[in-house]
Amino acid sequence: MKFFIRISIGILVFLISLTVYTIWDNNRIRVMEETIYIEDLPADLQGFQILQIADLHEKTFGKGQEKLIQTINELEYDVAVFTGDMLNDENSDNYDPTYSLLDGMDNLNDALFVPGNTDPGGVFTGPTYSLDQHDFITGMSDRGVEQLDAVQND
């Protein structure tokens, strides 16, 4: 019986520790720096720094994204690239976490956005079979972020 109790306590401690770690890990901001070497890169692109932001899924880091904004504004970069999954799903209308982030960022020069699988597409065929820009994409564009997308007209 003592063995069973010890095993049960051990499993319980492990599960509690795993839960605490998961909550902590999902609420921290990580800045990772990678250096990429490209052969024959033009001299004017040497040292070019890209800030990549991805997979926020409507997550907030402090009121109005203040913690994330502070972290980003302390970084030096040449271009910000948002590489998808800013929303939880393509039907979401909770744009505030993304828009608050964009509104607080100091450097949105040449900022780019590539939709992920949970973001709405850039254009859609409406009831009149016209190409319309989704409200989320329009809001990003209004804040200085250009969407990279391809539309093929047959």
* 18 lies in some domain: no
DSSP per-residue codes, 137-153? HHHHHHTTEEEP-----
* 21 lies in some domain: no
* 8 lies in some domain: no
pLDDT at residue 27 in the model: 84
**135: CB partners within 8 A, 6+ apart:** 93, 95
Single pTM value for the model: 0.80
* 143 lies in some domain: yes
The number of folded domains in the chain is: 1
DSSP per-residue codes, 69-101? HHHHHTS--SEEEE-S--SSSTT----HHHHHH
The domain that holds 148 is classified in CATH as: 3.60.21
Digit-by-digit pLDDT tens for the chain (154 residues) are: 888 899 999 999 999 999 999 988 888 888 999 999 999 999 999 999 999 999 999 999 989 999 999 999 999 999 999 998 999 998 899 999 999 999 999 999 889 999 989 988 766 656 665 667 789 989 999 999 998 876 555 5
* 69 lies in some domain: yes
Domain housing 85? 49-154
Could you give the CA distance from residue 58 to residue 99 in angstroms, rounded to a whole number? 10
* 36 lies in some domain: no
pLDDT at residue 49 in the model: 95
* 126 lies in some domain: yes
